[in-house]
Amino acid sequence: MIRFEQATKYARTKGIKKPIIEDVSLTMNRGKSVGLLGRNGAGKSTLLRLIAGAIKLDKGRIIRRGKISWPLGFQGSFQGSMTGEQNVRFVARIYGVDTEQLIDYVEDFAELGPFFKAPVGTYSSGMKARLAFGLSMGVNFDYYLVDEITAVGDTNFKKKCQAVFETKLQDSDLIMVSHSTGTIRTYCDCGVVLEKGKLTYYEDIEDAIRAHDKNMKES
């Protein structure tokens, strides 16, 4: 379960103060995957970082029950000067997972070949996405926060993602940001629309998509 209690967060850049979420109270229950919809720049990625706990709220709080992954995006949380393998080792250590097991899993999943032992800075965005995706799937979480990651990569990679997701989703949930409604439909049961600092929860993902489409037309 993830619960927002009067949560408020502002984005500040160069004197401009813009609300991401304003006084939001919302509960997302376990057992349902959530699609997060909103226009460009509404703050969907920031919201994921808030849920993960990588950044803090200005007001209110977020109560988390269960293990939550880091936000899994294609730009990655990787240190460019470290090799793919070193990055995997690092994550294994900070999450207290068996290092060798995780390395084997990721090496097999990401199919980077010799690049696995090259600095991540030399990777293409598709390669980074494969590494990021394989890495997070190798660690067991109750919630996986996914930020547009399936958008990169070729058909093969997408198929692979789908296969892993299907096994993972039996006992984990997804919170997913994507501009592709097709992807959201495939994986998510319910939806949350972020618009003008408000979060609206929809039991049915179709309702969420409809509400989002309506917002887009209005602008």
Residue 20 corresponds to which tokens in the numbers above? 């991401």
Residue 54 as a binder of another protein (CB under 8 A): the answer is yes
Nearer to another protein, 41 or 159 (CB): 41
Q: Shortest distance, CB of residue 12 to another protein, whole angstroms?
A: 8
The arrangement of strands across the sheet holding 190-195 comes to 72-73, 143-147, 173-177, 34-38, 190-195, 198-202
Nearer to another protein, 86 or 181 (CB): 86
Residue 79 as a binder of another protein (CB under 8 A): the answer is yes
Q: Which of 80, 89, 150, 156 is nearest to 121 (CA)?
A: 80
Question: If binding means CB under 8 A, how many residues of this protein chain bind another protein?
Answer: 25
Q: One-letter amino acid identity for 115?
A: F
Q: Which of 33, 63, 46, 78 is nearest to 174 (CA)?
A: 33
Residue 81 corresponds to which tokens in the numbers above? 């000067």
Residues in the chain: 219
Residue 78 as a binder of another protein (CB under 8 A): the answer is yes
Q: Shortest distance, CB of residue 217 to another protein, whole angstroms?
A: 32
Nearer to another protein, 90 or 201 (CB): 90
Q: Quick one: which segment of 87-95, 102-110, 159-167, 202-210 binds another protein (CB under 8 A)? A: 87-95
Residue with tokens 């068996």: 98
Q: One-letter amino acid identity for 180?
A: S
Q: Which residues are at the interface with another protein (CB under 8 A)?
A: 12, 49, 52-56, 68, 70-71, 76-82, 86, 89-91, 93-96
